[in-house]
């Protein structure tokens, strides 16, 4: 192999690896505690998930189809931010883009999320926990934050 061919091969390999690094994005967020999540979220509520379906929502920046999951929910209690009725919440269908998988088997979740265009969106970066997994101190903190706001 000539020196020019080797040089071209190395250059192409570097460009290919650089492009793959751009495409291989993953969900990145630090774990948050309940108080941080409460204060940084637009909405906090408890809800049971009654169903879900996946839909395509256009293309991402690389031309790949962008899929989302719509979870049908029944809101049980609102702790922050919802002054309208919510029947569904949205998340990415891929955990690599911070999508959340929720169980629909009569489980109750404490959910924090963001409002975008009047819809509730959740991600792995939010605080989403099964209600029965909340500790006593987390329940107390939730009550304090609901009562006193972010100064809790």
Percent of the chain residues past pLDDT 70, beyond the cut: 78
8 falls within a domain: no
Domain with 140 in it: 34-151
20 falls within a domain: no
Exposure class string for 100-133: b at 16+ Cβ within 10 A, else e: bebeeeeebbbbbbbeeeeebbbbbbbbbbebee
Q: Hey, is 44 helix, strand or coil?
A: strand
Q: Is the pLDDT of residue 115 over 80?
A: yes
13 falls within a domain: no
Q: Label residue 63 by pLDDT band (50, 70, 90).
A: low
Q: Tell me: the pLDDT tens digits for 7-55?
A: 545 554 554 444 444 445 688 888 889 999 999 999 999 999 999 999 8
pTM value > 0.85: no
How far apart are the C-alpha atoms of 38 and 145, rounded to whole Å?
Answer: 7
Q: Label residue 64 by pLDDT band (50, 70, 90).
A: low
16 falls within a domain: no
Distances from the Cα of 83 to the Cα of 29, 71, 77, 89, 114, angstroms: 28, 19, 12, 15, 14
Q: Can you tell me the mean pLDDT for 100-122?
A: 92
Q: Can you tell me the mean pLDDT for 57-84?
A: 83
39 falls within a domain: yes
How far apart are the C-alpha atoms of 59 and 64, rounded to whole Å?
Answer: 5
Question: What's 38's domain CATH number?
Answer: 2.40.50.120
Give the pLDDT score at 20. Answer: 42
Number of domains in the chain: 1
Q: Is the pLDDT of residue 149 over 70?
A: yes
């Amino acid at each position: 192999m000539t020196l020019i061919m080797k040089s071209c091969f190395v250059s192409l390999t570097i460009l290919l690896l650089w492009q793959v690094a751009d495409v291989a994005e993953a969900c990145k967020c630090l774990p948050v505690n309940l108080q941080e999540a409460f204060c940084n979220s637009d909405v906090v509520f408890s809800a049971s998930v009654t169903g879900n379906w996946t839909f395509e929502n256009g293309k991402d920046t690389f031309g790949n189809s962008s899929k989302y999951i719509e979870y049908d929910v029944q809101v049980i209690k609102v702790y922050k931010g919802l002054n309208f009725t919510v029947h569904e919440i949205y998340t990415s269908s891929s955990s690599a883009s911070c999508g959340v998988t929720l169980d629909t088997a009569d489980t109750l979740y404490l959910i924090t999320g963001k409002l975008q265009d009047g819809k509730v969106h959740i991600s792995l970066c939010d605080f989403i926990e099964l209600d029965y997994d909340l500790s006593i101190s987390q329940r107390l903190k939730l009550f304090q934050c609901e009562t006193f706001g972010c100064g809790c």
